[in-house]
């Protein structure tokens, strides 16, 4: 009896300590300090941002606010909240310095939700080196979709545990939603339109992208790995998205022709582009009317001849283990006009022409839905396997796949894009 | 009966315990918050750093006035730098990074400009304090009043319209940007820790113009600095303007170090860019040679590479240093004018680099 009483006592003691201390940490929506502001109180709000103590929520009531820029640094458990994307509007058109409208640095536990932020000179919302980040019901837009717009609308970078949901981005001259060098990220139920790239996952590992709609961008969705960065990406799942009508001209700063880096490389008319990224699964998406290439799989060599010199633990230019299955894919009858003016677009136009020239039986069909640049690890290993990097595709139809043979594209006589699908079909 | 009694008292006891532990948790949080809360004074004059008229910035005895081999450019501001050590405390020499300052050290940096009448007009004074309670550095800014009698604590930053003369006496009008306290943190945070940027041994290792003895040796002689090795063993950041003693490459790299590398370094605010401009960086990719940008967006001006050896005009590095447009201009903060002399140095340097294929 005594023993059992002692056991019960211990248990109670333990649970008492546990309950009282975990309650302090509390559920996400409990904050020690809760501040509320109205339009017209911008100076007070700026000061509040700069004086934040751990565990503070800031409510911005409905209305229009004008800011130069806002920043939060080195403080934990912060909520910035509006009354809805159509009610609380933050205008950064008077930004006079810095790289972004809102800058968040080194914050653990950051949530921003229910407002519109717009028209900064640089990026709209950059979240650097933070963890447990939630961006919810945020609209991040530039009124004009041209090269004067900032680069990224929603931009977490070097973060851990990021959730972006129910957001909308428009007008970014680079990517609307851009998750960079981050581990563990979810992008869901978001929309992006009239950006150069709707959404981009870059050097980011363990990402899931689902239930989104990316449309009317230059390119709908990108998964990129770039060299010389802090970490490698990969392990990205992309499903249940509706990626359609991404045929917008590439309005990245250099104009329609495109720089040789980043989204400058994205041809108008691209649905999904995988660049140098590995361990990717793309399934159950609707990928409709992206009229240059529904899905592009390209190596780092396609954009950088020196990619091989940059191989290290954080970078491998050859995409591996790419699994594409059970998507609904359709393309329109012709390339979008802006593709003809774009450096990579021209290569794809040429690929279609070459295929039809090599094989009259194609009867001038469109370029196949999935374009693989065909630069495999064989160039590093001197191997000869037809599919050494485990590209696996399971999609119905007869014009699904082309190996565009980019290695030989500069040599018209040797260049042989081919549609031999069987080595790449999922076993 | 007995059972009820036991359970009753158990429940009571456990409530008592939870209240107790609750209290324990609360106490813990309040004490840690209190300890972290360093209090800055309201006015610059409250600290008593300076003797006589405040604008003369004549340091009280024991306060060290110091200079850097190559300084950060801030709109042609005239800067005065001081280190305030607690009585009897000493700085410990460190080979890399900021010197090891004792607790309660205050580093003071005053920013002024030269007006058209060639008078020195005070704008702001920045303080870095090493909090003795948690050993962390804290930042604060003081904005000078119009009367130029004192500077008042100011956290939100400011735009101060000024007409200034540059080093050649050329006149400029600008809205000088006083940084807010988060701006301060952005440049001063490395690997999540706020640290001083300027006072590294290598940046202090020289004779201040007009002085016969090396700055660090003077500190050691005055017993303000311990552990200083023979000067020949102390690294030196080149003086960016000293064309006699330093090569173009050395001067340009020194300039990039002090103007860019507080962010453009591993662990710095621009870690994500992969462009690292520390004086000691040797990897050509990280230095930007034929390196494509990562997230420059429109800030790259449509150019392809950070640095194209031999071609400054097509190099993003030069383009951004030569711009004053927000979103393009580098450094991003605390600069509204182009530093003509600095930009010329970087242009000459890029143009001097051997062209690659």
pLDDT at A7: 56
Shortest CA distance from A123: residue in chain B = B327
Residue of A406, A227, A387, A239 whose CA lies nearest to A320: A387
> Rounded distance, CA A167 to CA A165, Å?
5
Nearest to A228 among B182, B286, B296 (CB): B286
pLDDT at B17: 45
The residue ranges of chain A whose pLDDT is under 50 are 1, 12-27, 255
Shortest CA distance from B275: residue in chain A = A228
Residues 6 or more apart whose CB falls under 8 angstroms from that of A86 comprise A116
Interface size between A and B, measured as CB pairs under 8 A: 180
ipTM of model: 0.84
Residue pointed to by tokens 């590479």? B305
> Rounded distance, CA A125 to CA A71, Å?
10
Q: What is the pLDDT along chain B (357 residues), one digit of tens a residue?
A: 455 455 555 444 444 444 444 444 444 333 334 444 569 999 999 999 999 999 999 999 999 999 999 999 999 999 999 999 999 999 999 999 999 999 999 999 999 999 999 999 999 999 999 999 999 999 999 999 999 999 999 999 999 999 999 999 999 999 999 999 999 999 999 999 999 999 999 999 999 999 999 999 999 999 999 999 999 999 999 999 999 999 999 999 999 999 999 999 999 999 999 999 999 999 999 999 999 998 888 888 889 999 999 999 999 999 999 999 988 999 998 899 999 999 999 999 999 999 976
Alpha helices in B86-236 (DSSP H): 181-188, 201-204, 215-221
Q: Which residues of B touch A251 (CB under 8 A)?
A: none
Q: Hey, is B42 helix, strand or coil? A: coil
Q: Do B17 and A230 touch (CB under 8 A)?
A: no
> Rounded distance, CA A392 to CA A424, Å?
5
A96 touches chain B (CB under 8 A): yes
Let me know how long chain A is.
427
Q: Which two tokens stand for residue B210?
A: 């007009």
Q: Which of B20, B188, B295, B306 to mutate to test the interface with A (most CBs of A within 10 A)?
A: B295
Nearest to A310 among B159, B189, B285 (CB): B285
Nearest to B177 among A97, A173, A262 (CB): A97
Residues 6 or more apart whose CB falls under 8 angstroms from that of B126 comprise B108, B109, B110, B111, B139, B140, B141, B142, B179, B184
Which residues are A328's β-sheet partners?
A: A286
Q: How does DSSP assign A313-359, residue by residue? A: TTB-SS---EEEES-EEE--SS--GGGGGSHHHHHHHHHHHHHHHH-
Q: Do B10 and A5 touch (CB under 8 A)?
A: yes
> Rounded distance, CA A203 to CA A228, Å?
10
User: How much is the pTM?
Assistant: 0.88
């Amino acid at each position: 009896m005594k023993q059992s009483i002692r056991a019960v006592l211990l248990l109670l003691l333990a649970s008492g300590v546990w309950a009282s201390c975990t309650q302090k940490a509390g559920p996400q929506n409990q904050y020690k300090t809760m501040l509320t502001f109205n339009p017209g109180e911008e100076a007070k709000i700026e000061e509040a941002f700069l004086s934040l103590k751990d565990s503070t929520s800031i409510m911005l009531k409905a209305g229009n606010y004008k800011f130069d820029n806002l920043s939060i640094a080195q403080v934990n458990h912060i909520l910035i909240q509006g009354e809805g994307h159509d009610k609380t509007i933050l205008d950064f058109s008077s930004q006079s310095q810095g790289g972004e409208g809102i800058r968040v640095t080194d914050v653990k536990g950051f949530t921003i939700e229910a407002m519109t932020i717009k028209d900064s000179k640089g990026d709209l919302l950059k979240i650097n080196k933070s963890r447990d980040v939630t961006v919810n019901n945020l609209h991040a837009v530039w009124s004009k979709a041209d090269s004067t717009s900032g680069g990224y609308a929603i931009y977490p970078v070097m973060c851990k545990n990021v959730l972006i949901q129910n957001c909308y981005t428009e007008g970014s001259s680079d990517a609307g939603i851009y998750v960079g060098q981050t581990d563990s990220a979810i992008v869901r139920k978001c929309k992006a339109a009239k950006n150069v790239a709707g959404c981009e996952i870059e050097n980011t590992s363990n990402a899931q992208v689902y239930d989104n709609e990316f449309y009317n961008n230059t390119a709908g969705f990108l998964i990129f790995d770039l060299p010389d960065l802090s970490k490698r990406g990969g392990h990205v799942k992309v499903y249940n998205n509706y990626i359609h009508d991404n045929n917008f001209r590439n309005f990245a700063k250099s104009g329609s022709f495109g720089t040789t880096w980043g989204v400058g490389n994205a041809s108008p008319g691209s649905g999904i582009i995988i660049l140098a990224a590995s361990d990717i699964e793309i399934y159950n998406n609707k990928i409709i009317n992206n009229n240059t290439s529904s899905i592009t799989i390209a190596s780092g060599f396609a954009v950088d001849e020196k990619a091989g010199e940059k191989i290290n633990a954080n970078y491998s230019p050859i995409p591996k283990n790419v699994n594409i299955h059970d998507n609904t894919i359709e393309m329109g009858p012709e390339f979008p006009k802006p593709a003809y003016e774009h450096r990579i677009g021209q290569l794809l136009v040429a690929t279609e022409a070459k295929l039809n020239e090599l094989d009259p039986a194609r009867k001038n069909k469109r370029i196949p839905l999935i374009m693989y640049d065909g630069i495999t690890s064989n160039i590093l290993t001197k191997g000869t396997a037809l599919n050494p990097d485990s590209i696996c595709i399971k999609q119905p139809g007869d014009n699904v796949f082309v190996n565009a043979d980019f290695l030989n594209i500069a040599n018209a006589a040797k260049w042989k894009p081919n549609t031999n699908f069987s080595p790449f079909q999922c076993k | 009966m007995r059972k009820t009694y036991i359970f009753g008292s158990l429940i009571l006891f456990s409530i008592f315990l939870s209240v107790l532990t609750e209290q324990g948790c609360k106490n813990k949080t309040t004490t840690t918050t209190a300890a972290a809360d360093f209090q800055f004074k309201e006015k610059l004059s409250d600290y008593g750093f300076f003797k006589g008229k405040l604008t003369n910035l004549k340091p009280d005895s024991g306060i060290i006035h110091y200079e850097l081999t190559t300084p950060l450019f801030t709109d042609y501001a005239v800067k005065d730098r001081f280190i305030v050590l607690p009585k009897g405390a000493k700085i410990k020499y460190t080979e890399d990074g900021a010197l090891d300052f004792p607790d309660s050290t205050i580093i003071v940096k005053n920013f002024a400009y030269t007006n058209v009448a060639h008078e020195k007009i005070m704008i702001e004074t920045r303080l870095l304090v090493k909090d003795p309670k948690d050993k962390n550095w804290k930042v604060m800014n003081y904005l000078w009043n119009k009367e130029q009698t004192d500077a008042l604590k100011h956290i939100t930053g400011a735009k101060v319209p000024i007409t200034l003369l540059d080093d050649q006496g050329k006149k400029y009008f600008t809205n000088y940007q006083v940084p807010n306290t988060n701006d301060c943190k952005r440049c001063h945070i490395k690997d999540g820790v706020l640290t001083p940027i300027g006072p590294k041994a290598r940046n202090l290792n020289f004779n201040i113009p007009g002085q016969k003895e090396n700055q660090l040796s003077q500190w050691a002689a005055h017993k303000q600095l311990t552990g200083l090795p023979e000067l020949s063993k102390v690294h030196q950041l080149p003086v960016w303007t000293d064309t006699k003693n330093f090569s173009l490459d050395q001067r340009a790299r020194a300039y990039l170090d002090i103007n860019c590398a507080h962010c453009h370094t591993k662990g710095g605010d621009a870690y994500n860019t992969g462009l690292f401009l520390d004086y000691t960086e040797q990897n050509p990719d990280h230095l930007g040679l034929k390196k494509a940008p990562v997230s420059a967006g429109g800030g790259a001006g449509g150019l392809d590479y950070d640095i194209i050896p031999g071609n400054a005009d097509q190099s993003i590095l030069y383009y951004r240093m030569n711009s004053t447009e927000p979103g393009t201009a580098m450094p991003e903060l605390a600069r509204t004018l182009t530093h003509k002399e600095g930009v010329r140095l970087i242009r000459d340097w890029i143009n001097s680099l051997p062209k690659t294929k």
